[in-house]
Amino acid sequence: MTKKTKDNIEEKKKTKATQQNKKQKEKPAHQSTDKADTVSNAKTKKAKKPTDSKSGADKIAKEKIAELNDKYLRLAAEYDNYRRRTLKERMELTKTAGEDILINILPVMDDFERALGSIDQAKEISAVKEGVQLIYTKFKEFLKQRGVKEIEAKEKEFDTDLHEAITKIPAPNKKLKGKVVDVVEKGYYLNEKVIRFSKVVIGE
């Protein structure tokens, strides 16, 4: 084998070694590029995921707000209708509140009219008195049925919760000192509540 041939073989070996070294160097470069692409793709996907979840949450929140707003509007409308209805009912009750009392008091009015009509024809005053007394008793019973009761005041201890003093006079006797001597205007309870104070004269 000649020297020239040996040189050619060695040169080819060197060339092959150089090419292999180049290939090995190029491979990691490609791999690193692929890895970089994978990482960048993963980052892009990760970046996309939070945005998607955020938009989904916003959509749910908007739907919830719309639902609550609808409920609020319905409730407000229902309350407004209820308020109007109760106001109307209250006004009607106010207008007809005394209807029952007036219906039951009309027979007493009829009795008074009959009594007044018979006064001119009456020959005896006792019959007229008896008729008026019957009407009074009937009217008093009507008030009693409605819970109206007279406040007993005469010869009772003066009580500011029940009585209103009009004046004071010397007591006819010692027992009546500081007590009610006379009743100028009767007082009344309505179911244990004072609706009118007794106007009285006090002994001193």
Q: What's the pLDDT tens digit per position in 10-60?
A: 666 666 666 666 655 554 444 444 544 554 554 554 444 556 677 888 889
Residue 150, pLDDT > 70, answer yes
Residue 149, pLDDT > 50, answer yes
Domain annotation covers residue 182: yes
Please state, in angstroms and rounded to a whole number, the distance separating the CA atoms of residues 162 and 183.
Answer: 12
Same domain, yes or no, for 90 and 78? yes
pLDDT confidence of residue 79: 93
Domain annotation covers residue 190: yes
Domain annotation covers residue 17: no
Same domain, yes or no, for 153 and 203? yes
Q: Does 3 or 95 have the greater pLDDT score?
A: 95
Same domain, yes or no, for 107 and 133? yes
Same domain, yes or no, for 183 and 141? no
pLDDT confidence of residue 112: 86
Structural domain of 85: 54-97
Domain annotation covers residue 142: yes
Q: How many domains in the chain?
A: 3
Mean pLDDT (whole number) for 149-154: 90
- In a 13 Å sphere around the CA of 2, the CA atoms on its Cβ side amount to 3
Same domain, yes or no, for 131 and 177? no
